[in-house]
Chains A and B, each alone.
Chain A
């Protein structure tokens, strides 16, 4: 495998790891209670840390196949979460009736960076890197 292809997987892994540790920091250290949608996104994000790590080292050719479904699911949920957050979809149409509301705003850095935006950004970046990886490495063979 070319070095450049490895870097793509490696970078995706860094993003997944930062997202994982970051979300744990929000919930375990700062004690923000994760809402339901956050949990679904976590379920998609956390395994990526392992899949991308083992994949990049042992089975780069199949890494895309294993990771892409998770990234896609996570991305869709993150996208929906942002729609809720910015009130494009009304909260009453959301599944978060109990516990923490999914439109609760915990952080707002620089006025626009919220936790759902960070999640969407992470899934988007990993998705782009993986698609690029597939085009340049897997498809060329």
Chain B
């Protein structure tokens, strides 16, 4: 009698757990389908005209990264992403989208966007990542420090501060936030390679997906 009860718990428990795992698989598959559908029909959700691009503009593999200059994992993955670009020289282009998830993200994004006008965008983004531990420490964020750092890459800070107030920049951040919502993104960095999401958050998953897409886009 007592054994029967134990079996009942084990049986029903296994059944519920099974449903849970099946649910995960089902949900992930449906998300994948939804995203690849959007990649075909709403390419704009992934790549906007305002989005900064790095690499060969004719490259057939689009590596879209939703990043936040204040996010530590974005900082860590940034050199790896650049390595990927140089590894597939000319076949992959990076498109930067913003996810203003931290307290000072909007200011940092506005700064790099304003640096565009001085043609120092990538320099500014690289510098912000490099100096992030100082200005973006979670215990004591000091966003104003970025204005001390930016002249290092030849940026005129006075001009930058004026350009940062541009309404266009606020609109870009807003548009990217809206696209984040559409795509259901809640973490950074989030990558899409030609509209496909890597299997998991590891860098291995991303680089193997890039390899796969490069192979598909440039058959030997």
Contact = CB atoms under 8 A, between A and B. Distances in A.
Chain B contact residues, majority secondary structure: helix
Given A25-B24, A29-B23, A31-B186, A57 B16 contact: no
Nearest to B23: A25
Contacts of B27: 25, 29-30
Contact of A17 (B6, B8, B16, B28): B16
Q: How large is the interface on A (under 10, 10 to 19, 20 to 34, 35 or more residues)?
A: 10 to 19
A54 to B, nearest CB: 10
B12 interface: yes
A89 interface: no
Contacts of A13: 9
A33 B24 contact: no
B186 A33 contact: yes
Contact of B20 (A14, A25, A53): A25
A53 B12 CA distance: 12
Interface in B174-201: 184, 186-187
A57 B23 contact: no
A56 interface: yes
Contacts of A53: 9
Nearest to B28: A29
A36 B186 CA distance: 18
Given A10-B8, A13-B9, A56-B9, 11 more contacts: A10-B5, A10-B9, A14-B12, A17-B16, A24-B20, A25-B24, A30-B27, A31-B184, A31-B186, A57-B2, A57-B5
27 contacts: A6-B5, A10-B9, A13-B9, A14-B12, A17-B13, A17-B16, A18-B16, A21-B16, A21-B17, A21-B20, A24-B20, A25-B20, A25-B23, A25-B24, A29-B23, A29-B27, A29-B28, A31-B184, A31-B186, A33-B186, A53-B9, A56-B5, A56-B9, A57-B2, A57-B5, A57-B6, A57-B9
Interface of B: 2, 5-6, 8-9, 12-13, 16-17, 19-20, 23-24, 27-28, 184, 186-187
Interface of A: 6, 10, 13-14, 17-18, 21, 24-25, 29-31, 33, 53, 56-57
